[in-house]
Amino acid sequence: MYPLKFQPVFQRRLWGGQKLRTVLGRPIPGDWQRAAIGESWELADLPAGTVKGESTGAAADGSLSSVIANGPWAGKTLHDVLQNAESGIQKSDGGYYPLLIKFLDAAQDLSVQVHPDEAYCRNHPGAHLKSEAWYILHAEPGAKIYKGVKAGVTKEAFRAALQTGQVAPLLNAIPVRAGDCHYLPSGTVHALGAGLLVAEVQTPSDTTFRVFDWNRLTADGKPRTLHVEEALACIQFAPLAEERLTGTGAAGATRVAECAHFTIDRVETSRNVQRALAPQMAVWIVLRGQGVINVESHMPTAFARGDTLLLPAGMKGAMVKTVADAAWLEVNVPLK
């Protein structure tokens, strides 16, 4: 086992931009450099029927699994590797990788949307639970997110606002800046505001119910498809629970998000630091700096800002050495 990198899957979105290249420094293929790139799927392993029609990169059956870009397993999909009992990568009960990792670039406001919870999914087999966290990588002045409805807003009041196009006054608008992290449990109506670049950690689902799109039209002059009834059946019309981080990160780490599905710690370290890595599986989303991970019997794996790495459990003699001041998000899945 060794640290895995993956080929990103870019998604064109009406609201996307080019911040993956201009802010994060990611290499973008020439035919994408004028595209409105809204999403980069960094780490995905989605079963058949999961990926919706507006998302690209899926197989004919609606499945999508990230392709490994480095080392002996290069060219294989993550799902291929998961079939190896000694891969060191934790699987869900269904046999898939239990998270989906993305970068999102919001050049415009995203639609107001909601994702289904467990109760809704039990009664609607085509829907898949989605809870997520946004870590703000870059925020332009005045940028904000919309998160949940204001106190006292009812389903009836929200439906009436949809008819008049006056939805924003019913939503909690929260100013954000780089380094903020927001957890969005399923059932939370939300929207990412313009001027934001974020790392998104979520449960593996592509089920999104758009309830309002700012009265916006597509390039062909038509309104985007909305899912009003599905969304109203999922939105939690109650005050959001206060976020309490009861866990603590490892030494040198700060816990920024925690839920039943994942934890996210921000790790910061100085240049020329060398230390052994913990033996459990983790995902690193590199925020700044650079370094190298050495594992017995494998070539070194270099990392730099904008990289996403999957570190399998049980890598032999795994050591990280930084060559510049560095920071990364470490994402962990609770052990079964």
Catalytic residue among 13, 26, 210, 266: 210
Contact between 161 and 214 (Cβ < 8 Å): no
Query: Among all chains, which residue has been given the structure tokens 């070539």?
Result: 299
| Per-residue exposure over 261-293, b if at least 16 CB sit within 10 Å of its own CB, e if not | bbbbbbbebeeeeeeebeeebbbbbbbebbbbb
User: Annotated catalytic, 224?
Assistant: no
Instruction: Tell me the C-alpha distance between 257 and 264, whole Å.
Output: 5
Contact between 209 and 115 (Cβ < 8 Å): yes
Q: Please report, to the nearest 10 degrees, the dihedral formed by the alpha carbons of residues 158, 50, 147, 191 taken in order.
A: -80
Distances (CA, A) of 144 to 50, 113, 257: 30, 15, 19
Instruction: Tell me the C-alpha distance between 8 and 6, whole Å.
Output: 6
Instruction: Tell me the C-alpha distance between 104 and 134, whole Å.
Output: 9
Instruction: Tell me the C-alpha distance between 50 and 305, whole Å.
Output: 30
Q: Which residues are catalytic?
A: 210
